[in-house]
Amino acid sequence: MMKKNKRKTFLTIFLALILLGVVVWVMIPSPLEVDLQSSQKGMLMVTVDEEGETRAKDRFVVSSPVSGRLTRIQLKEGDPVGLNQTVAVIHPLPLGKRESTEIRARLQAAQALHREAEILIRQTQLNLEKFRRERQRTEQLHKNGLITHQELELARDAEKLRIEEFDAAKMKAQAAAFEIKAIRSGLISLEEGKGEPKIISVRSPVAGRVLKVMEKNEQVVVPGTPLLVLGNPSQLEVVIDLLTTEAVKVKTGNTVLLENWGGDQPLQARVRLVEPWGFTKVSALGVEEKRVNVIADFVDPSTSLGDGFRVEARIIIWKGEGILKIPASALFRVGQSRAVFVHQDGRAKRREVEVGRQGAFEVEIQKGLKEGEEVVIHPSNQIREGLRIVKR
């Protein structure tokens, strides 16, 4: 009888233990599913990102040299024009004393611009010769194995930019000479006769294409009225307007990646100029911002793009190899420090880290993590020290 009671007691205790285990197992919360990613070494880029647009490198605005009746311009956007080709016809109005004085003043201004353009030609030519010698010296050093191929490419690109600057300076001088000729022809034709003044043909200062027709219809114009914008749409540059606080980080020669322009692969460009003057622009939220234009030249061919096309630009201001990095979304603040949750033995362990350079989506970890350790991406408020976690 006693054996039977003992057996029953043991059975009761055993069933109670099983029931307690089931209750404990049910009460223990299941591990929280999280997104994990390993810290790894690789390339890290720090960029300044902003929208930009393409524009023809050398735009020439053709203006009316005199007051008169402009006949309808037959040219359309995209039409080719030759050097010295007639692009507009003006029937001048009788010239008064005030108009004559204004035209002579414009003539003097055009002559001053022409002199300035000639000085610029000499300066860019000297600059080109200097960079040409530097490129030749760099090629010799590369041949002797003293510098890298990347340094040689930079020297070649620098010479190429100086060649383009020299060509642009010559075109500006040519355009200034045509402007002088147009103003003089208008002045002479208006002053020379007692009868009807001559018809004035406004001619193209360059060979290229019509980018924009400013005045399409017949109308009366005054001196200096813009009529057409001419240029070569195959020779493009990129204009990126940045906040001045971002523009100070950009240097001449920085690589630019152009994305979302319509093609499958990003196009590469290089910063030629950070303009030394800023301007005020009102943002979409109605806030006044101080901005500055950054001008970049294409390195890759840009045949599919035209004047005024939108691009998304990423200006690389720093790049490093072998950098220990994690996604920026894994970081959170703990007081003045930065921390991450590390996946360790199935649990979340909070660990403070020292952050170095920060890219658009990744950051450099200088201290606090080892390569290969898994961190929680986008840590929510549910995660706390010691919580059981599992990879989603």
Over the stretch 130-173, which tens digit does the pLDDT of each residue have? Answer: 888 888 888 888 888 888 877 888 888 888 878 878 887 887 78
What predicted TM-score, i.e. pTM, was given to this entire model? 0.64
Site of tokens 């901005």: 291
Over the stretch 250-299, which tens digit does the pLDDT of each residue have? Answer: 998 899 999 988 888 899 999 988 988 888 888 878 888 899 999 999 98
Domains with residue ranges and CATH for the chain: 31-57+232-392 (2.40.30.170), 60-231 (2.40.50.100)
Rounded CA-CA distance 321/150 in Å is 15
| 44 or 29: which leads in pLDDT | 44
Residues 375 and 341: beta-carbon distance below 8 Å: yes
Tell how far CA 146 is from the center of its chain.
33
Please report the pLDDT score of residue 197 as a whole number: 53
Residues 143 and 205: beta-carbon distance below 8 Å: no
Over the stretch 180-201, which tens digit does the pLDDT of each residue have? Answer: 776 776 665 555 444 455 678 8
Task: Give 34's strand partners.
Answer: 391
Please report the pLDDT score of residue 206 as a whole number: 81
Average pLDDT over residues 301-319: 87
Residues 327 and 283: beta-carbon distance below 8 Å: no
Tally the residues of the chain.
392
DSSP 329: G
**pLDDT above 50 for 356:** yes
Name the packing angle between helices 149-191 and 97-143 (round to 10°).
160
Which residues contact residue 369 at a Cβ distance below 8 angstroms, ignoring those fewer than 6 apart? Answer: 39, 324, 326, 340, 342, 351, 353, 375
Residues 377 and 37: beta-carbon distance below 8 Å: yes
Which residue, 261, 258, 239, 242, is CA-closest to 250? 242
Please report the pLDDT score of residue 194 as a whole number: 45
Task: Indicate the pLDDT class of residue 7, thresholds 50, 70 and 90.
Answer: low
Average pLDDT over residues 307-317: 91
Which residue, 276, 278, 273, 277, is CA-closest to 253? 273
CA distances from residue 358 to 38, 131, 240, 258, 308 in whole angstroms, order as listed = 17, 34, 22, 20, 32
